[in-house]
Amino acid sequence: MSKDPKNLRLMEVVLDDASIGRSTPDVEHERAVAIFDLVEENSFQPAGADEGPFRLKISVVEKRLVFDISNEAGEQIAVHILSLTPFRRIVKDYYMICESYYEAIKSSSPSQIEAIDMGRRGLHNEGSQTLKDRLDGKIEIDFDTARRLFTLVCVLHWRG
Q: What is the mean pLDDT of residues 42-51?
A: 93
Q: CA-CA distances (angstroms) from residue 19 to 26, 32, 78, 124?
A: 18, 16, 19, 21
pLDDT of residue 18: 76
Q: What are 98-114's pLDDT values in tens digits? A: 889 889 999 999 999 99
pTM: 0.86
Is omega for the bond preceding 46 within 30 degrees of 0, making it cis?
no
Sequence letter at residue 127: G
pLDDT at residue 5 is higher than 60: no
pLDDT digits (tens, 9 = 90+) for 11-37: 999 998 777 766 677 777 877 888 999
| Amino acid occupying residue 132 | K
Q: What percent of the chain has pLDDT over 70?
A: 91
The whole-angstrom separation of Cα 158 and Cα 138 is 25
Q: Is 11 exposed, middle or buried (0-12, 13-18, 19+ CB in 10 A)?
A: middle
The answer to whether residue 154 scores a pLDDT higher than 90 is no
Query: Does position 127 have pLDDT exceeding 60, yes or no?
Result: yes
Sign of CA dihedral 124, 27, 144, 18: positive
Task: Using DSSP bridges, classify how beta strands 54-61 and 76-83 pair: parallel, antiparallel or unpaired.
Answer: unpaired
* CA–CA separation, 151 and 34 (whole Å): 7
Say yes or no to pLDDT of 147 above 90. Answer: yes
pLDDT of residue 155: 79
Phi, psi of 77 (to 5 degrees): -100, -45
Calculated CA dihedral for residues 144, 146, 148, 149, nearest 10 degrees: 160
pLDDT in tens, 52-81: 999 999 999 998 999 999 999 999 999 999
Among 80, 73, 71, CA closest to 50: 71
- Report the 10 Å Cβ neighbour count for 25: 8
Res. 139: pLDDT tops 90:
yes
Confidence label for 2 from pLDDT (cuts 50, 70 and 90): very low
